[in-house]
Structure 1
Amino acid sequence: MADLRQFEALKAVHAEGSVTAAARRLGWGQPTVDYHLKNLERLIGSPVLTRSPRGSRLTPVGMLLLDRAQEILTLSERAIGDAREFTELGRVRLRLGTFATAAASILPFIAASIGDLGIGIDATVEEVPTLVDQINRGALDAALVFTVPGYELPFRPTVDAMEVYRDPLMLALPAGHPLASRPAIDLAALLSLRDERWVFATSADDAIDRVLTDAFAAEGHVLDVAIRTDDFQVLLGMTAARMVVGIIPSLATTAEHPGIVLRPINDPSFVRSILVATTSPDEAGRRPSPAVRHLVAAVRDGFAAVRVGAGASV
């Protein structure tokens, strides 16, 4: 049976051009390299090297074997790496930051999914600007954040962010509102609400509010902000009381709300892009740890399940 050290010797000789240089590359003695190559030749019944005073080169049989040997060595390294990673997973706790609606919708799925692998989660719920600051400082292993098209979040170069879900924004109207009978709201209808009173987020930099105010500002209108809150239940309650109108992400509308009509906005700007951001311990390789990669996979699977559920409920 072939020995992986035979393949390593063959690969090193091909790379270095001589048995002596191959021995230095591998940190072996020259007799050890010769021993493994001769055993390989006995195993296949043919020379794998042509030796000369100028060095050594592989024979055609040696080159054929080298091609397969490189695949075998790569698979062997991956197998060992995967086994080590799996062993390490049970000793890992990850710091995950998330905003509130993502926590409510998929955090249980994520915890159960990676919990089966022995990975623990220490979760914190914060507003997006705080999450961005924490992931930039390396205070989190991963963060779920959101933005809207055209508004980039200020991540450092060491942070990788990947979109995992597109969350449509809905217009919340009181039942009986003149626009409530429409199945969807186009931009012209939305702009007709310039004299309404609105609910905005607490943060002045909220991405959803910015896309709304920019749309109205382009037409020369400034909206009347009646209240600022990050509690969507407050938004819905005040809307039902006919005090305000507002914008709400579809993920935050999982239950029926009496007195409220929710309508999709037919404009590509009115969508929330949900991202999972991770940091890498190796800035050169930009590759997250195995546990973080499992976490990202669980996040993607969780939002895929949300997407399927949303499609089934339409």
Structure 2
Amino acid sequence: MYDPTRLAALVAVAEAGSITRAAQRLGYTVPALSQQLAKLEREAGTALLVRHHRGARLTGAGEVLVTTARRVLDEMERARHELAQLAGLSGGRLRLGTFTTAGMHLLPPALTAFRRAHPDVELTVAGYEPPLGIAAVAAGEVDVALTHAYEPAAAVAVPASVAQEPVLVEELVLVTAPGHALTAGTAGAARLPLGELAGQPLISMAPTHPPRQGVESALARVGATPSVLVSTPSYVLVCALVSAGLGVAVVPEMVARMSATPVGVRRLEPGDLRRTISMVHRADETNPAVDGFRALLRGAFGRTGA
């Protein structure tokens, strides 16, 4: 049985054309590599190399053994890679889809932990506003996607090939400009009945965006008056407009707490306006990288925001 290390040494010499250059490539000293080659020749029972002043060349027996050695080393590397993937996700790739809020606030700490545990996994991240991430997973464009659904809202159809797992449920809360009467002082400590938004100038968040339509309808029913219509799903813009005093808004609690612009925050009564963030993946595929990421995200954010 030939030692794989010595087979790799012979292949390196065949490719480099010189024991000296092969030693440099492998990180060996020339004497150490020469010893490995001498042992391999003893194992083979014949000369494998002819040394000359310009380097070394293979004998006929060396050519035969190098051909076999390459196949053996390739198979061993493939096996090593597959076993490493199963044991520690060393290699492979993970293609993620995300929407803006999750990409800003959920993914960075999760991916930092994933990268620390599995540094050799190739990561790619693409943006998909919900529910487009579900279709991207079903089509094989990404391996796992973060998506969301609002309450109240019509249910989003999920293909049978896609599995969906909730990771975070959060209430929608009121945001106002700092110092606003509805959120300032002791008023901000108690829940605000939804009906108290009647007549308030509302920054309407994507009024034609399907995931938000149920929420927009609930706000319209209590008499909140649209002041500014934000026609694209951008909570960063909504909070900036609120902070500038152009109106109030109802946004997910995570958005409110992590707003880049200062806002006042107050919970609503009843607390039945919600957003559920889920991860979706193909149900019929086994992917160690996806499984590892799902477990990590489940452990970090598998809780309710209520």
1:128 corresponds, among 127, 130, 146, to 130
| TM-score for both structures, normalised by structure 2 | 0.61
Q: Equivalent residue of 1:112, what SS?
A: helix
Shift in Å, 1:223: 4.2
Q: Distance in 1 between matches of 2:142 and 2:225?
A: 36
Deviations along 1:176-213, one digit per CA (max 9) or x if unpaired, are: 4332242356563x223232332233472343x33432
**Equivalent-residue separation in structure 2 for 1:225 and 1:153 (angstroms):** 29
Confirm or deny: 8 A CA contact 2:200 2:224 kept in the other structure: no
Please give the residue correspondences for 1:2-17 in structure 2 after superposition, counting only pairs within 5 Å. Answer: none
Task: Please give the alpha-carbon distance, in whole angstroms, between the structure 1 residues aligned to 2:215 and 2:254.
Answer: 18
Paired residue for 1:191?
A: 195
- Note if contact 2:239-2:259 (Cα within 8 Å) is conserved in structure 1: no
Give CA deviations for 1:40-64 in whole Å, capped at 9, x if unaligned.
xxxxxxxxxxxxxxxxxxxxxxxxx
Deviation at 1:172, TM superposition (A): 0.8
Which residue is equivalent to 2:94? 94
TM-score by length of 1: 0.60
Amino acid in structure 1 at the alignment position of 2:198: R
2:300 to 294, 299, 302: 302
Paired position in structure 1 for 2:209: 205
Give a deviation string over 1:143-163, Cα, whole Å, max 9, x none: 101112354222111111111
After superposition, the Cα gap between the structure-2 partners of 1:176 and 1:108, relative to the gap in structure 1 and judged at 3 Å, is closer
Aligned to 2:237: 234
> Structure 2: how far apart are the matches of 1:192 and 1:129?
31
User: Is residue 135–residue 142 contact of structure 1 (8 Å, CA) maintained in 2?
Assistant: yes
Check if 1:278 corresponds to 2:281. yes
Distance in 2 (CA, whole Å) between partners of 1:267 and 1:87 is 47
> How far apart in 1 are the matches of 2:268 and 2:86?
45
Q: Alignment identity in percent?
A: 22
Partner of 2:140: 138
CA distance in 1, matches of 2:240, 2:226: 18
Structure 1 stretches of 5 or more lacking a match? 1-81
* CA–CA separation in structure 2 for the residues paired with 1:191 and 1:237: 24
Q: Compared with structure 1, are the counterparts of its residues 106 and 239 closer, same or farther at alpha carbon in structure 2 (3 Å cutoff)?
A: closer
Q: Distance in 2 between matches of 1:113 and 1:239?
A: 34
Matched, 1:153 2:151: no
1:103 CA drift (Å): 1.3
What is the identity, as a one-letter code, of the residue corresponding to 2:102? Answer: A
- Change beyond 3 A, Cα 1:93–1:197: same
Tell whether the 8 Å contact from 1:199 to 1:244 is kept in structure 2 after alignment. Answer: yes
The number of equivalent residue pairs is 218
Q: Is the 8 A contact 1:128 1:145 kept in 2?
A: yes
Once the 2 structures are TM-superposed, how far is the Cα of residue 272 of structure 1 from its aligned partner?
Answer: 1.2
AA at the equivalent of 1:292: V
Two-structure CA RMSD over aligned residues (Å): 3.1
8 Å CA contact 2:238, 2:249 repeated in 1? yes
